Amino acid sequence: MKRRVATHGQHFLRGSRLIGELVGYSNIRRRDTVIDIGAGSGAISAVLARRAARVVAYENEPQALILLRRNMAHYSNVEIVAQDFLRAKLPRQPYKVFANIPFSLSSKIITKLALADNPPRAMYLIVQKQFAQKLVLDSPHFHSALGQALAPWWAVRIRRPLRRSDFTPPPAVDTVLLELKLRSKPLLDPTKARDFHSFVYACYHDPRAFRRVYRGDLKPSQLNTQQWLACFWAHQDYRKK
């Protein structure tokens, strides 16, 4: 495979063997459609193409696209989308995600996927360890607004830590493989996802909004999911008055 081209400050995984090992932690199966975000020269897409029925590779950096098209020419089940992922349309059929995304865009990418009309069944993303810990609500770490906003629909866990030497160039931060899977039974109607997301972020950024619906001693980052749901319904009642 032709050499990789770094885009948007990405750090690429070293070798198909490591990529194959990481994909092994996923629930990606032979019949699946999988999307690869920021595909670069296609190292992850190539591994996915041998495991899944269809791969959709998103890349918009011109030099990387040249290599991606060359490297994927032998894979009939890989579709290349030459577009910024954050502006691109998502597949209409069921799909999953496996990608080594730019760290600086982690929150935006997850939000786009989670709030999509047709969200993925599962996401497997290589992200900064500190970012991932804030999304895992059963951990003792600070819980971010994004982590709280995802909780009614997504089960989140860290599947595997990675070494800095697993990448080229090596990142300056610790990284992990993060798993986000749709709950089989959501805790809130999916049609409420955008409202709940906006509500949680408003509570994190405006103490007055938070205190209108919660009178206890905890901070927004300390509430559990059931408490957030109770606050959300209190917010809905407040808006009706």
pLDDT tens for 157-212 read: 999 999 999 998 899 999 999 999 999 999 999 999 999 999 999 999 999 999 99
> What pLDDT does residue 150 have?
98
Span 81-95, average pLDDT:
97
Q: Vertex 133, ends 38 and 24: CA angle to 5°?
A: 55
- Please report how many Cα atoms fall inside a 13 Å half-sphere around the Cα of residue 54, on the Cβ side: 10
Beta carbons within 10 angstroms of residue 7's beta carbon: 19
pTM: 0.93
- In the chain, what percentage of residues exceed pLDDT 70? 94
Query: Has domain 12-182 been given CATH number 3.40.50.150?
Result: yes
- Give the per-residue pLDDT at 37: 98
Q: Which residues make up each annotated binding site for S-adenosyl-L-methionine?
A: 11, 13, 38, 59, 84, 100
**For residue 2, what pLDDT is reported?**
44
161, 157, 111, 159: which is closest to 138 by C-alpha?
157
Instruction: Tell me what pLDDT residue 6 has.
Output: 44
Digit-coded pLDDT (tens) for 96-116: 999 999 999 999 999 999 999
In angstroms, the CA 219 to CA 221 distance is 5
- Would you state the pLDDT for residue 238? 53
pLDDT in tens, 35-76: 999 999 999 999 999 999 999 999 999 999 999 999 999 999
Residue of 100, 110, 94 whose CA lies nearest to 54: 94
Amino acid (one-letter) located at 8? H
Q: Is the pLDDT of residue 123 over 80?
A: yes
pLDDT at 236 (0 to 100): 82
Place of tokens 């992922």: 85
100, 160 Cβ separation under 8 angstroms: no
Q: How confident is the model at residue 145 (pLDDT cuts 50, 70, 90)?
A: very high
Residue 240 pLDDT: 57
What is the model's pLDDT at position 138? 86
Q: What residue ranges do the domains of the chain occupy? A: 12-182, 190-240
